[in-house]
Structure 1
């Protein structure tokens, strides 16, 4: 199974959400979605975030809102320090009346004063999470509800329920394809095999996949393999040839082109970077 830093939602019992501060470099998390709302706030460095086919370049002090079921990907540039807040769908639905009929976006009316307030909430969350004083969870929950109140007051956008139902249904279908890829990426995967998972002909499947995922099926498979190669380069002593073979990378020339395009270096240079001295 592919290991992502923040694709799987692991909430904490004490605060009922996921709240992490992590540092990372050169990590690619390919297109995926989840039911939680996600906030990414950059403390240091730079991150590329693509949400529903729109690319954002986040630098120090920037944050982005990723709504439930938004298809998104992230790429951390070198030495990036990130605050990550993920709020489960169940918490959102319980806390916000009519949540299923809304999404949150940074609109003109939310820009500077409200954005500054959101940043201050996230920074105080980090501070109290680090110190964990007596009554920590009480204060954290008050900040969390302040955050959600600000979202509802300043960033709420009504959505078309029929469109949401159709999109959710199609994403559930695509989830079967993604699970198939994650289970079989080490072997050759054909369009015919992937399209058969959801009973579509290959031509329609290609259009269907690109529409909802924002990338082609081949690009998705290659990104899954790239992420696995990166993990093996950084965490194992296997030969590069062995790593490529175990992750289904049979076209060496294409792989090298994709790797350099994504990470800006060769696999050998990437491996050497983990032990610079």
Structure 2
């Protein structure tokens, strides 16, 4: 089974990503993957099977799990469920690192679970309603949640083995963060190598080993992810979107989009507008 890297793009109006779990209808399996963000899965109805570093945890309604940055995990949803997912940038916790760009959360103590679940529920309901000032209200809940995480769930003593295992994926995560910040520019593998002090050959191997694609394909996937969001949320032309997100021209964007989604960008937008 392959282990893949997941690209996370925050909600357009929030400093993190929040959404209803895509496996809500059941009969769903998500292969092993990892990402730089810290993630919370909060189950409000039904149940999920969670596997973190091969360890199985069954989440029932009213329970949540914290997935650490660069922690390999997979998910099984056999039955319908209602689960809210939060994906928080690692940098949110920068002031509380216990090692260089490292923080680790545990979930062994469940005394605070009811409060955490209520915060997540309030965040999601407020975001769905989108009343005046909703962004401020959601973020007030969000920072209370972060406070609980760093005061109740942060592990201050972490084994060197765990730190070392996360560090390998962490190196690539740093590179991926740089790509996400500069993806609209022309970032060659050689330029990336200069920035991070690795040889192009070594970087190429890292992408193939951990992201399971070559560097050029990964850069294109980042550009396509952001371009897709603009396509769905604006009336900008295909050419404008291509230019905004680093594609050489509209034809290159259209070709990449059709390869991933099986139709032209204009056709895809029509299907979404009609749904």
TM-score, L = length of structure 1: 0.56
* Kept in 2: contact 1:29–1:73 (CA 8 A): yes
1:61 aligned to 2:62?
yes
Equivalent residues in 2 for 1:12-23, closer than 5 Å: 12-22=11-21, 23=24
* Kept in 1: contact 2:27–2:78 (CA 8 A): yes
CA distance in 2, matches of 1:15, 1:180: 30
CA distance in 2, matches of 1:19, 1:101: 23
* Kept in 1: contact 2:34–2:72 (CA 8 A): yes
CA distance in 1, matches of 2:46, 2:66: 18
1:179 aligned to 2:211?
yes
More contact order relative to length (CA 8 Å, sep ≥ 6) = 1
Please tell me the root mean square deviation across aligned C-alpha atoms, in Å: 3.0
* Kept in 1: contact 2:97–2:103 (CA 8 A): no
2:269 maps to: none
Residue deviations 1:99-126 (CA, integer Å, cap 9, x gap): 7343111233xx23x1111011011011
* Kept in 2: contact 1:47–1:58 (CA 8 A): yes
Tell me the CA shift for residue 56 of structure 1.
0.6
Aligned residue pair count: 178
Q: Secondary structure, in 3 states, of the residue corresponding to 2:85?
A: strand
TM-score, L = length of structure 2: 0.57
1:39 maps to: 40
1:105 maps to: 106
Equivalent residues in 2 for 1:224-243, closer than 5 Å: none
CA distance in 1, matches of 2:160, 2:210: 24
